[in-house]
Amino acid sequence: METSPRRDDEVDRIVAAWRRERPDLDVEPLTVFSRVSRLARHLDLARRAAFARGSLETWEFDVLSALRRAGDPYRLSPGALITQTLVTSGTMTNRIDRLETRGLVERHRSPDDRRGILVELTPTGRTAVDAAMRDLLEVEHQVLGVLSPAERSDLADLLRVVGGQFDD
């Protein structure tokens, strides 16, 4: 695997300072997780900017993209949306209300349960989420452009292993 040339970064300086100040501690995890944390902050800002081009908030994209991924007719129960977006039922109700007000989703009675509700992506919502996804991928391809295809694959594999312990 061909690797990019090594260049010290802010995390290297932080780790070196901790090693100097606390040589009794093994600060090696900082070399990974400080970079992950810093990258997450940069990605969050880049995602917000990408979504803002389509007048969407990050949480709106999360809900709309869950519906889009569900496939035609782009419907899910509020419970399924809660599971996919990791928010409380009260938060999801508020989000659905706000998306419905904007004309991005509609509520329908479930054909299988008279008390149940399904949330459906509207054509306007589908257009918005598709455009936001295109903008997001453009930004994310730029971020990953410093890595070779093999490095991207290796990074994805390693992150899958580390993150997999939280999936259950």
Residue 86: give the domain boundaries. 56-142
What pLDDT digit, counting tens, does each position of 67-118 carry? Answer: 999 999 999 999 999 999 999 999 999 999 999 999 999 999 988 877 889 9
pTM of the full structure: 0.82
Residue 154 maps to a domain: no
Residues 78 and 133 grouped into a single domain: yes
3-state secondary structure of 142: helix
Residues 46 and 82 in one domain: no
Q: Is 75 found in the same domain as 117? A: yes
| DSSP H/E element including 118 | strand 117-121
Q: Average pLDDT for residues 131-138, to the nearest whole number?
A: 95
Residue 61 lies in a domain: yes
Q: Does 79 lie in the same domain as 94?
A: yes
Residue 130 confidence class, pLDDT cut points 50, 70, 90: very high
Instruction: Tell me, yes or no, whether 60 and 137 share the same domain.
Output: yes
CA 59 to chain centre: 10
How many angstroms separate the Cα of 127 from the Cα of each of 60, 79, 133, 145?
13, 24, 10, 27
Mean of the pLDDT values across residues 21-36? 96
> What is the pLDDT at residue 4?
57
